[in-house]
Chains A and B, each alone.
Chain A
Amino acid sequence: MIAALEPHLAILQVVVPLISAPLCSMLRRGDLAWMMAMVVSWLAFAMSIALLAQVMATGDISYHVGNWAPPWGIEYRIDAVNAFVLLIVSGIGAVVLPYAKKSVEREIKPSRRAHFYTAYLLCLAGLLGVTATGDAFNVFVFLEISSLSTYTLVALGADADRRALPAAYNYLVMGTVGATFFVIGLGLMYMVTGTLNMADLAARLPELGANRTVDAAFAFIVVGLGLKLAMFPMHVWLPNAYTYAPSVVTAFLAATATKVAVYVLLRFVFTVFGTGFEFAALTLTWVLIPLALAAMFVATIAAIYQVNVKRLLAFSSVAQLGYMVLGIGMLSTTGLTATILHLFNHALMKGALFLAIGAVAYRVGSTNIEAMRGLGKRMPWTMAAFSAGGLSLIGVPTTVGFISKWYLVMAAIENGWWPIAVLIVASSLLAIFYVWKVIEAAYFREADDETAIQEAPMSMLVPLWLLVLANFYFGIDAELTTSVATTAAKAFLGGGG
């Protein structure tokens, strides 16, 4: 039975969460819905592991939906890159769900819990779909599925804080603008090539030579995706959305949603347009790199001045996305390796940090720095996990953050871009300030009141620590992640050239 399903893994990966979402909404009770969402998340994780193993063993998988041959039918195409991203997304889902039960019980009204898990499953299905598909229009469809469910998820934070509603609305407006731009870009490409299959597009675009329509399409797509991935200065929706969303949602989104958008950008820039596309190379060097550098500094400095830890981490995410965009802009194997590595590594560290903050919100009821005073003693495991995640964010050796930074600086030096190497290091030094603010409050300041605060429950601590240990494991033995990332980077650059 399992063997019979194996050739269909590529589509099952997406279909299983998609089908289970409406089923989930029919379960009226929150705990049943949770159970279902958890089983589906774990199934998705298992499938993504099997897919990665399959790709590593036999090479790229091309799955034709309904047996319609591409470019007419929809093709799902799995290679080393998106198998890796699928693993990140479903892996984070699998870790976050056991944690979600307690956190959701505290932050969301009982009547809305089943809806919450429905939206979560839709979001998961959307993100996995965006990643797995080889069809450009399919990307748009799944991007919208994930975005629309994300707006709902953010808005569900309103039970705890009404400010979630304007945050979600803001996100909705910006996200829709992004999606529209993206689909305009797709339309322009369809106009000149008559195809929507990515591989087919990649083959036909170079034949057109210098073409203004294609240039416009490229611009629309990059801006549209830039909005989705919160590329500076199109990031303004992100801090509020992350701050007021329920803790679980923040952790899940921070670790997955923007990563998937970065992946799509990579896919379009390198596979569809290809490095031979001169306009792209110019844009990357002269537009994306300055924006990435601005993100690294402006967002980091903004993070230093935040008083809410979730917001602080949200700004830090904008800065970290700057690193990823920077890696793309370097247009070299090492730079791309750094970006792909950081996709994974940043998911691990931000996941851990937001889960730790979620545990604080669960026990203390606030995520302000002031509320974290003296927590080092009262919630030792949670705060130790936060500190470890913070060290990883700074990029201290033996953590994954160090590995990312190592590759990024190496890429800059290989290109001979000395000032940029220095700037990367300087911005990571600034990260020390905002991480340290929290650590110092927790360990070196005393709380005013002596109310007893307990350590977070086991169901939260175990997922949290799983992520923290992964931060260190992949920081000490980075063979696996770097080899996957290098293979992926070479495939991107080789395939497009």
Chain B
Amino acid sequence: MTLELALILTLAIPSLGGLLVAISDKNPNQREAMTLISAVSLFAVVIWLTQQVAAGARPALHLVEVLPGLSLALEIEPLGMLFGVVASGLWIVNSIYSIGYMRGGNEQKQTRFYICFTIAIASAIGIAFAANMFTLFIFYEILTISTYPLVAHKETNEAKSGARVYMGLLLGTSIGFQMIAIIWTWVATGTLDFTSGGILADKIDPTMLPVLLALYMFGIGKAALMPFHRWLPSAMVAPTPVSALLHAVAVVKAGVFTVLKVAIYIFGIETLSTTGASEWLMWVAAFTLLTASLVAMTKDNLKARLAYSTISQLAYIVLAVAVANQLSVIGGALHIATHAVGKITLFMCAGAIYVATHKTEISDMRGLGRAMPFTFAAFFIGAISIIGLPPMGGTWSKWYMALGAANEGLLLVVGVYMVSSLLNVGYLLPLVVRGFFFPPPEPARSLGAAAVDEHHTSSSGGFAEAPLWCVVPPCLTAVGCIVLFFYADPIYQFLLPLGRP
């Protein structure tokens, strides 16, 4: 397999998968098999590519020249590779989970659901491997549009208005700010290629750099920087697998990934730190980080709480970018992976609870841990990872982000990181505590005790674990959180070229 072929395959496999899903409309088993096959084969190709990239290769491919000098082109560098691995790897887990969830809930229009999923994954891969800002922008917009039907899936009025906010904010910020920023960059430098060390140095008046940075940062609405964060809670009307993959992994991570790409390859870390263009961003990111954490504490709906937690965690990465230090940037990149694995676990657990008990409010979940021990254990592990305690993967990403800030002498930022971690404890752990240590409400008590051993059969004992398809995936990702703790070093080494001038 040549590198070019593999690169083409990463886009072709999910697209072709979408087509195969479409023609298997009448046969659900065949349809789901197609989804799984494309997910697994995509992951295999991505892993093969990762080995090549780790060995120093930089696969590149020129697709088509759209305007003179502006091309659709792909090129893999370590950061994109990491995002590619995360998105394609979690797609497998999520596909398994979707099958359980969608069938368990007897959801309508499942074929449309799976087709849109494949398009979304293809565009996430396109974002990961884009060689220039123009290509990235195009896939970014495709991702927004292809996920609209997923968010509006239930077709109720609530779903439709949520989806409208979702699409309006994401399209609005990307066209209103990001496109202007991109054209500005193009006019000023004559290139949009991602280049190590950035392309803007000496091309734009340093006093205007903060303005351009603001256009990019607010233009990348998917990073959910306040005040353009409203779409994320709105999108929670989507079925849980959508929230899990898109709003813990593909969409939001595409946002912060783009933030990192812009900081590292358009501005250049060096330029950012010497000109101080990103100083204002620290305040906005820190504000978003703390405010979202505080709002999360007030939410009783589990998915809404997770949504605000996501906003806060994304702001960690933006803050790391604002600090503009090699270590903090690597920590931010690492956080893409560790937060993705942790948050998808939490979402899948929330979905499993919903499928098994139809409960969405945290206050109703007292004692549920005894009936659903695996789900709650997985939730616990995911939560610990997001808080950043050992032995979970989240420890390292927060470690490096804080270390970077400390290196720059920004003790205030270190303080923000620490306070927010405490807040994380405050809003994530009560659910686990309620689940395991509070007595269940009256009717559920007898059933809860019986269900402990028979966790995998939902039908035998009333309230018990969700179907196997819904329980195994979060357990897998929970194990992933632990694995990431012990194998963080190879990823760190892999990412080391980032941020080097």
Contacts and interface: CB of A to CB of B under 8 A. Distances in A.
Interface stretch (B171-179, B378-386, B485-493): B171-179
A404 to B, nearest CB: 11
Interface in B100-142: 137-138, 141-142
Contact of A428 (B67, B175, B187): B175
Contacts of B176: 422, 425-426, 429
B68 A477 contact: no
A478 B180 contact: no
A476 interface: yes
A396 interface: yes
A410 B185 CA distance: 10
Interface in B125-170: 137-138, 141-142, 145, 152, 155, 160, 164, 168
Contacts, number: 65
B180 A406 contact: no
B248 to A, nearest CB: 26
A436 B164 CA distance: 10
Interface string B220-245: 00000000000000000000000000
Q: Which of A425, A440, A483 has the most CB of B within 10 A?
A: A425
Nearest to B171: A432
B160 A479 contact: no
Interface string A399-440: 000010110011001100000011001101100100010001
Interface string A299-332: 0000000000000000000000000000000000
B183 A397 contact: no
Given A413-B184, A422-B180, A476 B145 contact: no
B35 to A, nearest CB: 23
A142 B72 CA distance: 43
Interface residues of A, number: 29
B190 to A, nearest CB: 12
A425 B155 contact: no
A413 B187 contact: yes
B150 to A, nearest CB: 14
B66 A478 contact: yes
Contacts of A432: 168, 171-172
B37 to A, nearest CB: 27
Interface in B184-220: 184, 186-187
B151 to A, nearest CB: 12
Given A413-B184, A429-B175, A444-B155, A397 B68 contact: no
B55 to A, nearest CB: 33
Contacts of A425: 175-176, 179-180
Given A429-B172, A432-B171, A476-B72, 5 more contacts: A425-B179, A429-B176, A444-B160, A476-B66, A479-B67
Interface of B: 64-68, 72, 137-138, 141-142, 145, 152, 155, 160, 164, 168, 171-172, 175-176, 179-180, 183-184, 186-187
Interface of A: 391, 395-398, 403, 405-406, 409-410, 413-414, 421-422, 425-426, 428-429, 432, 436, 440, 444, 475-479, 482-483
**CB-CB nearest 10 A-B residue pairs:** A397-B138, A409-B183, A397-B141, A413-B187, A410-B183, A425-B176, A478-B67, A429-B172, A478-B66, A413-B184
